[in-house]
Chain A
Amino acid sequence: FDHIKKGDALVVLAEKFPKL
């Protein structure tokens, strides 16, 4: 894995849908 590219989504743990 190199870097975050256009179209990539991020997988996260959170209590509510997060605002990054």
Chain B
Amino acid sequence: AIDKLAKKTKPYIIAELMDRSNKELTEGAGANEVVSAGFYRTGIMLQSALYHGMSHIFHELLQYEQNKTSVFIVTEKNIPQEFYDEKLTFQDAARKINEKRKAPNPVILIGVKRGDQIILNPHS
């Protein structure tokens, strides 16, 4: 229905599900991404019970304000070609980014997105 209403703009559709087990069905119906508040709630409560203070980290990351640290996905067009040409490992890439770290907008590498998959802190 959303696609039909906005044929020209091709909106990127985020759907919320109560039960994540229906994720594939929802994606099949046209959702680009699926979120589930219940799944996140349980995960944050569990993590915070195990590692006290963890809920504050998620809270910080979910705030969308100026001068707040957020997660960004930097795509190929904004990454220096040398990262690909030199076949950098994750560790090499993190080192390079750390060397360029500047006070106005310090950057920390936390993962790689390959296709639809996000790999945080990948092993070699």
Contacts and interface: CB of A to CB of B under 8 A. Distances in A.
B114 A18 contact: no
Contact of A1 (B79, B110, B113, B124): B124
Interface residues of B, number: 41
Contact of A5 (B68, B114, B120): B114
Contacts, number: 108
Contacts of B68: 15
Interface of B is mostly: mixed
B18 to A, nearest CB: 27
B105 interface: yes
Q: How many A residues are at the interface, by size bracket?
A: 20 to 34
A4 to B, nearest CB: 5
Given A7-B76, A11-B113, A1 B70 contact: no
Contacts of B2: none
Interface of A: 1-20
